[in-house]
Amino acid sequence: MVHLRSLILLLTITLWPFSGLCQFCDSGLGYCNSESALPSKILIKGGTVVNADHQEVADVYVEDGIIVAVRPNIKVADGVRVLDAKGKFVMPGGIDPHTHLAMEFMGTETIDNFFSGQAAALAGGTTMHIDFVIPVNGSLSKGFEAYVEKSKLSCMDYGFHMAITKWDDIVPKEMEIMVNEKGINSFKFFLAYKGSLMISDELLLEGLKKCKSLGALAMVHAENGDAVFEGQRRMIELGITGPEGHALSRPPVLEGEATARAIRLAAFVNTPLYVVHVMSSDAMEEIARAQKSGQKVIGEPVVSGLILDDSVLWDPDFVCHEPSNKSIRAWESTSSSIIYWSSKGTDHCTFNSTQKSLGIDDFRKIPNGVNGLEERMHLVWDTMVESGQISATDYVRLFNIYPRKGAILAGSDADIIIFNPNSTFQISAHSHHSRSDTNVYEGRSGKGKVEVTIAGGRIVWENEELKVVPGSGRYISMPPFNYLYHGINKADANYLTSLKAPVNRI
């Protein structure tokens, strides 16, 4: 039996991509389809094309995975697939800057890998994501190799951030290799998860200095891990073992403290800082204050923080599935520019109900994280554009891969969605494309629907049907020294002048 399976797999691998089968079809996910492997010539007619700076009614012509022209009344020859977009928006595919696919975490591994997570993303109009490489025993190169392996399943474009979990003579040298040779331009430092990913302030300072010298963006998970640990102990002593213990043990003040600390240390080093998954108004206020003072700090809103709150954790019928950190509808609480100008991530880090039940008797063992890759574009549109808080042009702003991604311009990658603002979406674990058996947004519905997704010039989502090819996604290298680095040198020079030292004393 085993031999027969191996033979079939070998034949499949040998024949792929020439057969209708593909290398990974035994994944059990019904949307593998090598028919759509070749990018086609596509004309999108008459839609409202939305870019970050303006919108206009125009046609969009795509060839070989690239947008060739954007203007009214484009004429094409026979054999070009024509999509009618009248009355609809034609927008750049979304970019999710914060995901965890195939991540080993808290004694298990996220249920979505680079195939299922990306397929779900494409069904929701996201065409690129940036995932976090976790080092293997502190080794960046081993971590990178592991993620190269995991991402071979990819069916859409992706990039990598990298976590730094220890410090020795090798780590800074490996950071250089990651930036200069491997296309990674951002490193994440965990101030939480005591005993596993958490690092000290001393390491954070070393990391910030190294990031600055490489032009890499330092990112922080800002919660005080020692205090969270203490908060957890306090809850257990009080006999609180259910999922509400998760929220109770990490009040917003602990996120505010760590955010303030990271911001001040970044100011001390004079390097830009990106605070991931901002969930509390305490943290947002710190970021807003730093931005006002001119410091280069970005706060990343995540969809769970926009949509969810903690109340469900107290429901006696509710077991285990906690929001990603401690959502308190952070986006409502401020008019800070961070919600308008930052990219909106998901922190898609999904565990199914069996995995969540690892913590059935102890909330500390519930693997942390929720879904969102497929739901993000719909939920952000419905919550923020439909309500008038932001415009369609605000909606398409992105991380920093412009203009290759995130724009409908001649020369940009053909990652495009056709969005019908008059249609509606519904969310359910029965119809979503993640491998999880639950959906933290179960039962939600709203206005606006991604009707077509084009990724790398291929129509991968149309008529509620996915046609995706494992192995067709490309790794996107990201260069260092993004726009946040403008002016850093001048500020350093001004600082040195202001010291008026060393003083030459006789």
- H-helix or E-strand spanning residue 142: helix 140-150
Name the residue nearer to ligand URP (CB basis): 281 or 325.
325
The Cα 31–Cα 460 span in angstroms is 10
Residue 369 engages ligand URP in binding (rule: CB under 6 A): yes
Residue 368 engages ligand URP in binding (rule: CB under 6 A): yes
Backbone conformation region of residue 500, classed left if phi is above 0, alpha if psi is from -120 to 50, else beta: left
Q: Residue 30 CB, nearest distance to ligand URP (Å)? A: 28
Residues 6+ apart with CB under 8 A from 71: 58, 59
Alpha-carbon Rg for the chain, nearest whole angstrom, is 23
Residue 349 engages ligand URP in binding (rule: CB under 6 A): yes
Name the residue nearer to ligand URP (CB basis): 67 or 111.
111
Q: Residue 369 CB, nearest distance to ligand URP (Å)? A: 4
- Residue 359 binds what, of ligand URP, Zn ion, none (CB under 5 to 8 Å, by partner type)? none
Cα→Cα distances 297→1, 6, 266, Å? 57, 52, 9
- Residue 412 binds what, of ligand URP, Zn ion, none (CB under 5 to 8 Å, by partner type)? none
Name the residue nearer to Zn ion (CB basis): 70 or 262.
262
Q: Give the total of residues touching ligand URP (CB under 6 A).
A: 8
Q: Tokens in use for 504?
A: 């030459």
Residues 243-262 that bind Zn ion (CB under 5 A): none
Q: For the window 200-229, what string marks contact with ligand URP as x by the rule CB under 6 A?
A: ---------------------x--------
Name the residue nearer to Zn ion (CB basis): 372 or 470.
372
Residue 221 engages Zn ion in binding (rule: CB under 5 A): yes
The Cα 331–Cα 383 span in angstroms is 11
Q: For the window 66-105, what string marks contact with ligand URP as x by the rule CB under 6 A?
A: ----------------------------------x-----
| CB-based contact 38:409 (threshold 8 Å) | no
Residues 6+ apart with CB under 8 A from 109: 102, 103
Tokens 């999904």 sit at which residue?
A: 350
From 206, 347, 374, 413, residue interacting with Zn ion (rule: CB under 5 A)? 347
> Which residue's Cβ lies closest to Zn ion?
221
Residue 112 engages ligand URP in binding (rule: CB under 6 A): no
Q: Residue 468 CB, nearest distance to ligand URP (Å)? A: 25
From 157, 174, 300, 347, residue interacting with ligand URP (rule: CB under 6 A)? 347
Which stretch, 6-14, 85-93, 217-225, 464-472, contacts Zn ion (CB under 5 A)? Answer: 217-225
Residue 326 engages ligand URP in binding (rule: CB under 6 A): no
Cα→Cα distances 350→91, 100, 109, 113, 158, Å? 27, 8, 9, 10, 18
The Cα 117–Cα 435 span in angstroms is 8
Residue 45 engages ligand URP in binding (rule: CB under 6 A): no
306: nearest Cα among 336, 275, 329: 329
CA quadruple 454, 98, 162, 210: dihedral sign: positive
Which stretch, 45-53, 60-68, 163-171, 347-355, contacts Zn ion (CB under 5 A)? Answer: 347-355
Q: Is 376 helix (H, G, I), strand (E, B) or coil?
A: helix
- Provide the CB-side half-sphere exposure for 506 (13 A, CA): 0
Which stretch, 43-51, 343-351, 373-381, 401-409, contacts Zn ion (CB under 5 A)? Answer: 343-351
- Residue 324 binds what, of Zn ion, ligand URP, none (CB under 5 to 8 Å, by partner type)? ligand URP
Residues 6+ apart with CB under 8 A from 72: 57, 58, 59
Q: Residue 262 CB, nearest distance to ligand URP (Å)? A: 14
Q: Distance of alpha carbon 207 from its chain centroid, rounded?
A: 22
The Cα 266–Cα 119 span in angstroms is 37
Which stretch, 81-89, 220-228, 237-245, 352-360, contacts Zn ion (CB under 5 A)? Answer: 220-228
Name the residue nearer to ligand URP (CB basis): 64 or 104.
104
The Cα 358–Cα 351 span in angstroms is 10
Name the residue nearer to ligand URP (CB basis): 45 or 221.
221
- Residue 369 binds what, of Zn ion, ligand URP, none (CB under 5 to 8 Å, by partner type)? ligand URP
The Cα 460–Cα 119 span in angstroms is 9
Cα→Cα distances 159→98, 144, 185, 278, Å? 10, 12, 10, 21
Q: Residue 347 CB, nearest distance to ligand URP (Å)? A: 5
The Cα 322–Cα 232 span in angstroms is 15
* Interface residues toward ligand URP, by CB under 6 A: 100, 221, 324-325, 347, 349, 368-369
* Interface residues toward Zn ion, by CB under 5 A: 221, 347
